Amino acid sequence: MAIALTDAIRLLLFPAMMAFAASSDLLTMTISNRVSLLLVAGFLVMAAVIGMPFADMLSHFGAGALVLAITFTFFARGWIGGGDAKLAAATALWLGFDFLFNYALYASLFGGVLTFLIIRFRLMPLPHALEKQAWLVRLHRMDAGVPYGIALAAAALLVYPETPWMKLLG
């Protein structure tokens, strides 16, 4: 039973939280603190269940702390939202230093494409039929931010299958 539960957490929790964060950011321009907290709790449970060595856990927490420090600086400068900063740090906790560079690279590339597409979208007139969709009107506003959680989640989902979490499934 414990193995099936572990596999379910490994297969579902991380991807589901990423999908939820991306969709929430798109529709509301916010990422709930619960998403990041669930990711941290899920990591702790999984690390305990698989018997991750303490040194490896510390390394993963170091990756999360490093990303939190960097993204908090970005947040303080107004470059990203607080939810984005916490999501990136919680994701780094799961990925560790081994996959952090790839995650950051993909998140940057996806974020650049996303930003370009949203700028192009905002330069086009919003079709009259869509003017009653509050989330779309908010996304279309020139003074609105970019739902960067989409890029963060996409990068995480691209990197996650290569991690030891998924390799343990065989």
Whether pLDDT at 156 is above 80: yes
pTM of the model: 0.93
Torsion of CA 40, 15, 48, 93, to 10 degrees: -40
Placement of tokens 């990711």 in the chain: 39
Task: Write down the pLDDT at residue 53.
Answer: 96
- Write the pLDDT tens digit of every residue in 99-148: 999 999 999 999 999 999 999 999 999 998 888 899 999 999 999 999 99
Whole-angstrom distance, CA of residue 108 vs CA of residue 43: 24
Domain that holds residue 18: 2-167
N-term to C-term CA, the chain: 18
Domain count, the chain: 1
